Structure 1
């Protein structure tokens, strides 16, 4: 593991070289948080605790340590919610001027946070944890974890019968379970969550994990075999606009929802590296990821062109800018203003902070960065 003071890896760094870790626990610890966050967890002792202990120990509300690592941040109106290692959940109701730590049901590392409507927030992460708040991030309930997910998967892929492709998936689930350090707990991390409306949503994660809900998360249906992902590549992001839904993953994997078939179909791209995110607007799809690579399509993936980003740092977030524009943010702290049609990217003058894991914009147009050493709100110099 890298020394905490060395340049840490970005989300998913353990898979960027194309080497897949042998142990599921190694993958779960390295995925999406970066080595600096993992080092922090080890220093605090959390990495050596039994997983059941992590799932059964809540985090009390209290004063927020402004140097605590944060992995993701999301906004709705003036409310900002950020998450991070050891079940960290923090809330700001004034656009990031003040933050307070909220109580969390678990001490698992949280990776991604998103609003699904004005008051509902989802946070997902390691140990197959999915948390939901229905009051804008103040109070949280556990919806899924490694225990309930394993029961769900075993029920959906029984020893005999089940959906088409169930035999292969059942074998994979049992293999994942056998590698867990804690019996009857599946540690496979969820890496992203996205809802098209209050009811219709998807969870995605490592080893091709996909779940679908049509009732706002009350029930979930495994969609592992509903994807053109036979190698079970890791799925880092899910997002969309209206009826268009996309999943982005490693080795250039990009999938588009075919609602009529209830299937995520492969979209061919000219890139073979990892995609960490996808941003979908009317008439434009932007997929971005490793080493500053970003590709734009204006015809739903039939043709692609490479966006000149001018950086070899990995792109980890895409957030709305003023008007119809977009900001691309790299793990090294570069911020690019992208035109609405995705034809050009202009670098903005942003002071260096530290390793960036996530980003959002405030209602007033400031940039909020989730960093390995806390949260920071910055003014943005408009592109000329």
Structure 2
């Protein structure tokens, strides 16, 4: 995993799990894609990386295929049935019942019962062959297109290398249309709830094949963020993710906002704000040189940021300024979600509840 040169977002928990990327049972190799997640009474205290709401239910994902859910705002957790033990990074529910989770080994999981049970829809063993078939067909129609020829070669390489490319985020517009993104410009779209996936690598203005760390909708706009200052926005007319220029050249880990306001956040406390749908961006000074790895909106519309170290920063003016919320102790964190009057934080030490002031 050190070849990816990234992932403050996932490294908080996943670095701990790397030695367990492949499991050995009774002295024999066992592929994590074929090994169900083991149940553990300590799963809620172990490294966790992703967090989402499924209606009133909370769902978290983490190392070794662990997925847990809570029906009492995070007080108690139950472990879900998961068919893989690959490290999971992100989870998203567009409705109360339907959800998707992604992670290492190119795995994509689906739940139709609010996170209680999960099925595998897609994985890294299928990424290369799916890309190869798609881009070979395009190359046959456009034999002079060098960009497509390059994607055919990339698909052949991925097919040979196998299931070693992670997906790092997932977002669904509804229960049928969604996207998964990951390392080296990996992006797939589904229009049938994940039963089939179409490569979209040729639809991104990302010639360097930079890692894609996060994607989210802000109002009517869908953004992707990644390394080296990469910000992309979906142009509905062309069906392409076009590059958006920002003043920062370091990694962005996520995007959040509401109609009329968007924020992108990343390394060393860098936060930029746009009030014109991404045309112009202005830096928001946080006074905190620690990477921002997650964000959420509470029921009152306040913006909440989470630092790698566990700092919580709150804005009451639509992201124009932030104040650090006092805490007794800090712990490394990777995801945050507002639930009622509290924040649910997850990280290397599991789940932590914090009153939102």
CA contact (8 A) 1:318 1:329 kept: yes
Structure 1 residue aligned with 2:230: 253
Question: Greater strand percent: which structure?
Answer: 2
Unpaired runs of at least 5, structure 1: 1-24
Cα gap change, 1:304 to 1:99, in 2 (>3 Å): same
Match of 1:137 among 96, 100, 115: 115
2:140 to 161, 174, 180: 161
Where does residue 94 of structure 1 map in the other structure? 72
CA contact (8 A) 2:50 2:60 kept: yes
In the alignment, the residues of structure 2 paired with residue 175 and residue 274 of structure 1 have an alpha-carbon distance, to the nearest angstrom, of 26
Q: Is 1:116 aligned to 2:107, yes or no? A: no
SS in 2 for 1:248: strand
TM-score by length of 2: 0.91
Q: Secondary structure at 2:116's aligned position in 1?
A: coil
Residue 303 (1) aligns with residue 280 (2) = yes
Residue 51 of structure 2 corresponds to residue 69 of structure 1? no
When normalised by structure 1's length, the TM-score is 0.85
CA distance in 1, matches of 2:208, 2:271: 23
1:220-272, Cα deviation, whole Å (9 max, x unpaired)? 11100101001000000011135310000101100010011010001010110
User: In the TM superposition, what is the alpha-carbon distance from 1:376 to its structure 2 partner?
Assistant: 0.8
Structure 2 equivalent of residue 281 of structure 1: 258
How far 1:61 sits from its partner (Å)?
A: 4.3
Q: Residue in 2 aligned with 1:149? A: 127
What CA distance in whole angstroms lies between the structure 2 residues aligned with 1:90 and 1:46? Answer: 20
> Which of 35, 48, 58 in structure 1 is aligned with 2:36?
58
Contact 1:64–1:101 (8 Å) recurs in 2 = no
Report the equivalent of 2:327: 350
Measure how far apart 1:40 and its partner are.
4.0
For residues 147 and 303 of structure 1, the distance between their equivalents in structure 2, rounded to whole angstroms, comes to 40
The alpha carbon displacement at 1:173 in A equals 2.3
Distance 1:27 1:51, change over 3 A: farther
Give the aligned partner of residue 236 of structure 1. Answer: 213
| CA-based RMSD | 2.1
Report how far residue 36 of structure 1 moved.
5.7
**Cα deviations by residue, 1:297-318 (Å, 9 ceiling, x for unpaired):** 0001221111111211110111
2: distance between equivalents of 1:298 and 1:242? 12
Deviates more, 1:49-58 or 1:65-74: 49-58
Whether the 8 Å CA contact 2:90–2:168 is kept in 1: the answer is: yes
When structure 1 is superposed on structure 2, of 289-298 and 163-172 the one drifting more is 163-172
Q: 2:345 maps to what in 1?
A: 369
Alignment of 1:307-318 (within 5 A): 307-318=284-295
